Structure 1
Amino acid sequence: MILRIPRRCGRFEREIEVPTPNPRSRKDILEKLLLDFSHNLDEMEVHEISMSTHGFVGADLVSLCSRAAMNSNQNNRDILEYNDIKFALGKVRPSAMREVQIEIPNVKWSDIGGQEKLKLILKQAVEWPLKYGDSFSRLGITPPKGVLMFGPPGCSKTMIARALATESRLNFLSIKGPELFSKWVGESERAVREVFRKARQVAPSIIFFDEIDALGSERSSGNSSSVQERVLAQLLTELDGVTPLENVTIVAATNRPDRIDKALLRPGRIDRIVYVPLPDFDTRKEILKIKLGKMPVQNVDIETLVCETENYSGAEVNALCHEAAMKALEETLDAQVVTMEHFEKALNIVTPRTPPSLIELYQNYTQYIT
């Protein structure tokens, strides 16, 4: 039998925690590290770097500066520049995040056509509390803890979450609902606790739950199991339990909001619920402009394509462009351009697949929550 040494007076009577550096500490560390490098960074740029390195410890900042210096040398420059640091930020991962799945997305708002309302809501939930914390305190309100996006498949819900992480420069933990389930008793709940513990440790951060209906299905329903109910209970505990969820924002996505337990969606847990519909005329036009801007096209009428793609999801519009390019390659592998004729053939192959019954379900659910 192994006995633990008691942490009592006379033995280990003092405990000192060495936390992950906050932005001010990171700035102090960076200023000292940069003394060893020839650089042209000004104070504002150093401040910007300190605000962008959430979860970085001192050793990570050393690695960041070294990686930036290597990039500068590879470009035949003797002086370290801000762009070198930005390049290194995409290569160096914070140590505290290496035990969990972390992504460094490279999606920007400009890569997503339309969805301006949804972009604003996500900025309000994630970026505003960080940039305008004094305003929230002055009005006596707390930022929303979570945002749920629901809508048909292929409407850029996951892509928008990635863009949010890129633009806000926060640590991004991407979790798919079924990933947390285990056949061993207690392991699923432990996995949920571990995700939130890591997110708190490297806050501010975003936890993105894709297919959250698999995790938070309604209790005492035919779709839920005892494991799902225990996982849901653990998720509710993490959202508003004793341990505060500071600077950790939950962003979730689902195609079936009707299957999610109502307790998960009450104010104070997942506060904002946003419908992400099929793209309208203007949104489809933006998507096509972004996609066609990366393709060599000739005599392609965007207005006609927008009209022809009514009821298409964003993913189906992308698939249409891909299929048109494949039609061009079928004619000759040396094809240089994609024409309107290729798009007309593609329209016969790529058709809208969102059933009207699913749209009706979303509309009814929208009326229920408003």
Structure 2
Amino acid sequence: MHLASLLVMAGDAGRALEHAQAALAATPDHAEALAAARDAARALGDTTRAESYARILRGFGEEPRTPDEPVPGFGPRWAAETDSEELDDTEEPLAIPEGFTELEPEGLVEAERPRVTLADVGGLEDVKARLDAAFLAPLRNPELRAYYGKSLRGGLLLYGPPGCGKTFLARAVAGELGANFFALGLNDVLDMWLGESERRLHDAFAAARRAAPCVLFLDELDALGQKRSHLRHSGARNVVNQLLAELDGAQADNEGVFVLAATNHPWDVDTALRRPGRLDRTVLVLPPDFKAREAILRHALEERPIEGVDVAKLARRTEGCSGADLVHVVESAAEQALQESIRTNAMRPITMRQLEQAAQEAPRSTKAWFGVAHNYALYANEGGQYDDLLAYIRSHKLL
């Protein structure tokens, strides 16, 4: 409770709520902790949770305080709801305890509910099957999960060339479950102050555990969990160590928190992150095949004016393109049609000629990635971790 009061004075209502909840876990009927949790939730804008704590207080015969009334041991009022103009002339400003610095209020990573599902993902049937076996099927079948002792915790690493749908897949998994989705990027974690990055990472995992079942998505894992042997500064190594600890769930249970990570450079990811119990399953997300390219092109052209377009023919001519490349082809063709409409002063649809020209001029963004990846697949294939990548390279003659 004392730590929560210090956090309140520093304006950090999110962490204050976390510590007030820890106090309630030990003593559920602690009136001051309930009042603090209620006011912290109110300061964060979570009116539903604030009203829940208020109802419990009323059940104990406590009169709920208004936001401007003092919380015992928590200073005059919440800093986030105080204007300097509202302070009484006789009231002293909040003092920051010695040894503490004033902090700016920061929110936790916000959860969202994606509307896309795996049905919206074109192709990638093997990847969908792996995702279904790892998390979706056990969640849909609790009896089978209990029979086989299958846990709802775990992690899966998606890797492959850029623009092939790794982030979209992660959102589709959350949408398939109707679960909360937390997207954790570098800007959500890294901070210039020593120890702050580790705290942010811990807070993100704590928010995900409270919202379970959920999907926690770690984008660009090679930057967040880079090999510690490549890192010169202890601060960066500490972030990797904190991520390892959070994935282990040593201090809290990760049941119901499914961690999905994505990277274009799996060979740069710290090997400890990929051991069993952490990101122990790896799935290669390859460029879309013919059926997937056809589905992506149809979706990209769906609400655009077209004339004489053979989508199947276009899909055959765009082998090696990523999903992002295909969308770029359609955008380029739309730009040509727009320019032609301006020149002729008449609305012109997108034609097959424009799409074929755009496809011919568009670079294959996956080519450079395979140029680097094949060296790792050939010479750094420890334990067969890149067998599927090597088989694809050989079958498509990318060596």
TM-score by length of 1: 0.71
Identical aligned residues as a percent = 36
Residues 155-189 of structure 1, C-alpha deviations (whole Å, 9 max, x = no match): 01111111111221111110113531112111111
Shift of 1:341: 1.3
1:303 aligned onto 2:312: yes
- Rounded Cα–Cα distance in structure 1 between residues aligned with 2:216 and 2:260: 6
Counterpart among 221, 225, 244 of residue 236 in structure 1: 244
Shift of 1:109: 2.7
Counterpart among 19, 28, 45 of residue 16 in structure 1: 28
* Range moving further from structure 2, 203-212 or 336-345: 336-345
Structure 2 counterparts to residues 1-370 of structure 1, below 5 A: 15-16=27-28, 99-143=108-152, 145-221=154-230, 223=231, 225-240=233-248, 241-333=250-342, 334-354=346-366, 355=368, 356-361=370-375, 363-364=377-378, 367-368=384-385
User: Any idea what SS the aligned residue of 1:200 has?
Assistant: helix
User: Any idea what SS the aligned residue of 2:385 has?
Assistant: helix
Q: 1:369 to 1:144 in 2, by over 3 A?
A: farther
Shift of 1:225: 3.3
Larger Rg: 1 or 2?
2
- Rounded Cα–Cα distance in structure 2 between residues aligned with 1:14 and 1:119: 42
- Rounded Cα–Cα distance in structure 2 between residues aligned with 1:141 and 1:276: 25
User: Any idea what SS the aligned residue of 1:185 has?
Assistant: coil
Q: 1:3 to 1:155 in 2, by over 3 A?
A: closer
- Rounded Cα–Cα distance in structure 2 between residues aligned with 1:198 and 1:4: 17
One-letter amino acid of the counterpart of residue 236, structure 2: Q
Shift of 1:224: 5.6
Q: 1:115 to 1:243 in 2, by over 3 A?
A: same
One-letter amino acid of the counterpart of residue 343, structure 1: L
- Rounded Cα–Cα distance in structure 2 between residues aligned with 1:3 and 1:335: 66
- Rounded Cα–Cα distance in structure 2 between residues aligned with 1:13 and 1:213: 37
Q: 1:59 to 1:104 in 2, by over 3 A?
A: farther
One-letter amino acid of the counterpart of residue 296, structure 1: P
RMSD: 2.8
How many residue pairs get matched? 288
Residue number in structure 2 paired with 1:82: none
Shift of 1:361: 4.7
- Rounded Cα–Cα distance in structure 2 between residues aligned with 1:150 and 1:305: 27
In structure 2, the gaps of 5 or more residues are 6-23, 31-47, 53-106, 388-399
User: Any idea what SS the aligned residue of 2:183 has?
Assistant: strand
In structure 1, the gaps of 5 or more residues are 6-11, 19-55, 61-97
- Rounded Cα–Cα distance in structure 1 between residues aligned with 2:122 and 2:3: 61
Bigger RCO (CA 8 Å, 6+ sep): 1
Q: 1:99 to 1:217 in 2, by over 3 A?
A: closer
Residue number in structure 1 paired with 2:43: none
- Rounded Cα–Cα distance in structure 1 between residues aligned with 2:316 and 2:386: 31
Maintained 8 Å contact 1:178/1:215: no
